Amino acid sequence: MTDDPVNLDTRRSAESRMATDIRRHSLRDFEADQRALRLRQEELEVQLLAEPAANWREAALKAQYLIRRYSETAEARDARRQELIERALGDLARLIEE
């Protein structure tokens, strides 16, 4: 037995190595996009926490953001909750337009 790692890339065909490289780059791009998204969300949340809403429109926008974040959770995937989320977002959109 040896402690040296085996380089599996040397045992793959050229086509397989290319497919692996594409997956690796895609994963890196995805992870970079996820980091950037988390950063933007953190920046937005800092702004949302900075001051209380000055009017109903700002309050509705904050509520929409929170409902959308909740809709991304596993708990919100229930069909009934999805319908409630859609209706609440629609109600808030109508309030914002007024």
Residue 2 lies in a domain: no
Rounded Cα gap, residues 24 and 9, in angstroms: 12
Rounded Cα gap, residues 45 and 38, in angstroms: 10
Query: Residue 63 has what pLDDT?
Result: 95
Q: Is the predicted pLDDT of residue 79 greater than 80, yes or no?
A: yes
Q: Is the predicted pLDDT of residue 85 greater than 70, yes or no?
A: yes
Residue 40 shares a structural domain with residue 70: no
Residue 29 lies in a domain: yes
Residue 4 lies in a domain: no
Residue 5 lies in a domain: no
Residue 1 lies in a domain: no
25-35 pLDDT, tens digit per residue, is 887 888 888 99
* Counted domains in the chain: 2
Helix (H/G/I), strand (E/B), else coil: 11 = helix
Confidence of residue 22 (pLDDT cuts 50, 70, 90): confident
Q: Structural domain of residue 78, as residue ranges?
A: 53-97
Residue 17 shares a structural domain with residue 42: yes
Polymer length of the chain: 98
Please compute the mean of the pLDDT values over residues 87-96 and round it to a whole number.
Answer: 94
Residue 46 shares a structural domain with residue 60: no
